[in-house]
């Protein structure tokens, strides 16, 4: 799966496809081949973008990303300003507390796949396990709705940490679904287009905050972040179809 496993994060020069890797034994190669779903390994030709856009499985993961990714944009770009302007934090307090939601997000990156693995061991199919982990993350994200309503700034920080944890719980799940739902020749294109949808969501949400926060405050946007992922959950369960049964 060159489009997914090309090893760019470690250096593309170290990767080679299993059938051409000189250091791989025949037993290792057979084990890798046996673990690949047959319905995802055919059609090695380059996919047509418009054919992917017509598939419900694409929109089933792209729309949840569009709805979910504004959380990350908010944590990255707007929370420090919120803590200063609304919570009265100074530079020292920002240095002490503003990084905590990102540590919580790192933990969420580990928690999401753990939930998926646990659900699979309980007999749940892979696709439903991923949807279950996304749903759990979306439920946890509702804590973001109360960030602007609690009196204590430290409780607000705790809720922001919960939001970072919850966002990455569901985010890593829906990102991974590109390789679960599409053939190896389609994965990179689908992941890129879904990522573009996510960035579009960040852009629109950031523009709305920048244009409206002075008049309506931050609270409506925190409420929106708690609701958007619930909508994304409905989309994920409604649109996504397991390709092992039939194509989306």
On whether the CB atoms of residues 47 and 185 are closer than 8 A, the answer is yes
How confident is the model at residue 189, as a pLDDT?
A: 92
pLDDT tens profile 221-234: 999 999 999 999 99
Q: What is the pLDDT of residue 4?
A: 39
Per-residue DSSP letters for 160-197? HHHHHHHHHHHHHHHHHHHHHHS-HHHHHHHHHHHHHH
What is the average pLDDT score of the chain?
87
* Domains recognised in the chain with CATH numbers: 1-36 (no CATH), 52-239 (1.20.1250.20)
Q: Where are the alpha helices (DSSP H) in the chain?
A: 2-5, 26-34, 49-53, 56-68, 70-73, 79-85, 91-97, 100-121, 126-141, 153-181, 184-216, 219-239
Does the structure show a pLDDT above 90 at 178?
A: yes
Kindly indicate the confidence band of residue 30, based on its pLDDT and cuts at 50, 70 and 90: confident
Distance CA 51, CA 26 (A): 36
Is 144 within 8 Å of 71 (Cβ atoms)?
Answer: yes
Res. 3 pLDDT band, cuts 50 70 90? very low
């Amino acid at each position: 799966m060159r489009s997914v496993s090309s090893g760019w994060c470690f250096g593309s020069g170290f990767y080679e496809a299993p059938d051409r890797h000189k250091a791989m034994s025949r037993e290792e190669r057979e084990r890798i081949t046996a673990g690949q779903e047959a319905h995802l390994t055919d059609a090695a030709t380059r996919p047509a973008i418009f054919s992917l856009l017509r598939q419900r499985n694409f929109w089933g993961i792209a729309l949840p990303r569009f709805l979910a990714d504004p959380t990350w944009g908010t944590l990255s770009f707007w929370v420090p300003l919120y803590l200063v302007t609304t919570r009265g934090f100074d530079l020292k307090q920002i240095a002490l507390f503003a990084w905590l939601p990102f540590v919580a997000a790192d933990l969420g990156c580990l928690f999401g796949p753990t939930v998926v693995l646990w659900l699979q061991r309980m007999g749940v199919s892979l696709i439903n396990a991923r949807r279950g982990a996304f749903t759990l993350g979306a439920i946890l994200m509702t804590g973001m709705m109360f960030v602007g309503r609690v009196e204590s700034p430290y409780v607000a920080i705790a809720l922001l940490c919960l939001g970072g944890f919850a966002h990455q719980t569901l985010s890593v799940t829906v990102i991974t679904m590109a390789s679960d739902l599409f053939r190896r020749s389609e994965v990179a294109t689908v992941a890129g287009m879904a990522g573009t949808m996510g960035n579009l969501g960040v852009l629109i949400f950031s523009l709305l905050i920048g244009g409206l926060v002075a008049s309506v405050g931050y609270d409506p946007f925190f409420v929106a972040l708690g609701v958007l992922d619930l909508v994304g959950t409905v989309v994920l369960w409604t649109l996504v179809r397991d390709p092992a049964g039939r194509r989306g």
